[in-house]
A and B are shown apart, each in its own frame.
Chain A
C-alpha cells in the first residue's frame, strides 16, 4: 500500500510564493511602508504606462492638497481621561515644540495604499480522490513560522473530497488573525461595513471614523476595503462634504479616486470657495498628469499657464458645472480686489 504519487515532502518548492501580482511591492501588513520602496520602480513604469498612486510627483501634489491643520489632526481622541499638562516655555522652545508637532503630524498624514483588487486564489496542489467520504470537515493548515511575512505564508486546505488546495484570501486573513492577532482587527468583519449600515454612518458625518476602522480591519487590496472606500468617497462627493476629510490621511486617496473618474467639479468649487487657490492649481495639474490627452492639458503645455488662468482653461474644456465654477471664481476675485483695496 505505497503512497500515491511522488512524495511531496517539501511543497515550499512546488507551491509558488503567494506574492502580489504586480511589480513585487511587499506590504508586510502595515500601512504605507511599501510606498517609498516602490516609488522608484514605479517611476520607470510610469513612462511606459499610466502614472501610479505612488509616483513622487503625484504624492507631492496630493500631500499639498491635504493641508496641515494641526488643530484638527491633534484634536482629542477618545482616550482615557488624563488632566492636561501645562508647560512653561520660552519662544524658541515653543518654536521647537511646534516643529516637532508638525513632524508628528506628517507621520499621521501618511496616506494608506491604493491598490487594485486582489485576484482570487484557486490553486490545487493535490487531488487524492481516494479520501472522499472519510472526513466530514475540512482541515486548514497554517504555517506559523514567526519570521515569514504574512503574504508568503503557506495556508492550505484539505477538503472532505480529498482535494488539497491553497486557501482563499478570506480564509488566509482569518487564519492569520487567529495566530497573529492585530490590534483593531476582528475575526469576523463587523456589520457596520454592510452597505445599508454605511448609510447610517454617512448620515452622521463620521466618514473619517469608518475609513479608520476599514484600514484596521481589511487588507488594502481586498474587495471590502475598496468597496467601503469607494462608497465613502461617492457619498462625500454627492453631498460636497470634502472638509470632513481635509487634513486627514484619507484626503489623498479621495482626490486620486475623483480625478481618475473625472468627478473633480465639486472639489474644485469647494476649494475656490475656501480661497485655497494653490490647492486648486495642484488639483488641475494632477488631472493633467493623469489624463495627458485631454484638451486643457495640451493647452496648458502649449501656453505654460499658471494659477487662475489654468483653472479657467480647465473649466472651459473639462468640467460639467461651468456656471458654478465661474461664479465661485468671480466671488473669489471680488474678495481679493476688495481686500487689496482695503
Chain B
C-alpha cells in the first residue's frame, strides 16, 4: 500500500521534471520550410514542418515533402508533396516561407507568387533591352 503511493508520487515528479527538460519556445511558431541535405555540389531539399527557432536541418515535427533542384535525365525537377499533411499544418496555423510559397505557386496549390511574376517581367524587360543592344553591336562589326 505504501509502496503503491510512493510509486504514484515518483511518477508525478518525473512528469514535471521531464517537462522542464523539454525545449519550450516562447512566442515561436511552426514553419513549413526547406531543410537542406545532400552532398557537395548536390543539394536536396526536404519540405519540413518545424518550429521556427530550430536549426535549419535540425529536429522537425514532420516531413511534408521533398524537392530535388537538379533536373534528371528527362529534364524534370521532381517535387513530392504530402498534400493532406500540408493542409493539416497550414490549418494549424503554420507559416510558409517564401521559397516554399513560390514552389507551391508553381504546383498550382497556391496562386502564383507575386515575386515570381515580378522577376519574370524584369527578366523579360532585361532581355528586350539586350536584344537591340546586341543587334547594334553586330551592324558596326560588318
Q: Which residues of chain A are within 8 angstroms of B107 by Cβ–Cβ distance?
A: 139, 141, 156, 158
Q: Is B11 an interface residue (CB 8 A)?
A: no
Assuming the contacts A130-B121, A134-B123, A137-B75, asked whether A179 and B80 have C-beta atoms less than 8 A apart, the reply is: yes
Number of interface residues of B (CB under 8 A): 32
Interface residue total, chain A, C-beta cutoff 8 A: 38
Within the assembled complex, what's the spacing in Å between the Cα atoms of A9 and B87? 11
Flag if A142 contacts B81 (CB, 8 Å). yes
> How far is B79's CA from A318's CA once the two chains are assembled, in angstroms?
57
Stretch touching chain A among B22-30, B110-118, B134-142? B110-118
Cβ contacts under 8 Å, A131 to chain B: 112, 116-117, 120
Query: Which residues of chain B from 69 to 107 have a CB within 8 Å of any chain A CB?
Result: 71, 75-85, 103, 106-107
Which B residues touch A2, using CB under 8 A? 114
Question: Within the complex, what minimum Cβ distance (angstroms) separates A150 from chain B?
Answer: 14
CB-based nearest B residue for A144: B80
Residue contact A133 to B81, C-beta cutoff 8 Å? no
> Which of B75, B112, B117, B123 counts the most A-chain CB atoms under 10 A from its CB?
B112
Residues on the A chain within 8 Å of B84, using CB: 145, 147
Q: Is A139 touching B117 in the complex (CB atoms < 8 A)?
A: no
Identify the 6 closest CB pairs spanning chains A and B, nearest first. A3-B111, A137-B71, A141-B107, A7-B111, A144-B80, A145-B84
Residues of B within 8 A of A (CB): 65, 71, 75-85, 103, 106-114, 116-121, 123-124, 127
Given contacts A128-B112, A133-B123, A137-B71, 14 further A-B contacts (CB under 8 A): A3-B112, A4-B111, A9-B110, A130-B120, A137-B77, A139-B77, A140-B78, A141-B108, A142-B78, A143-B82, A145-B82, A145-B84, A158-B108, A164-B106
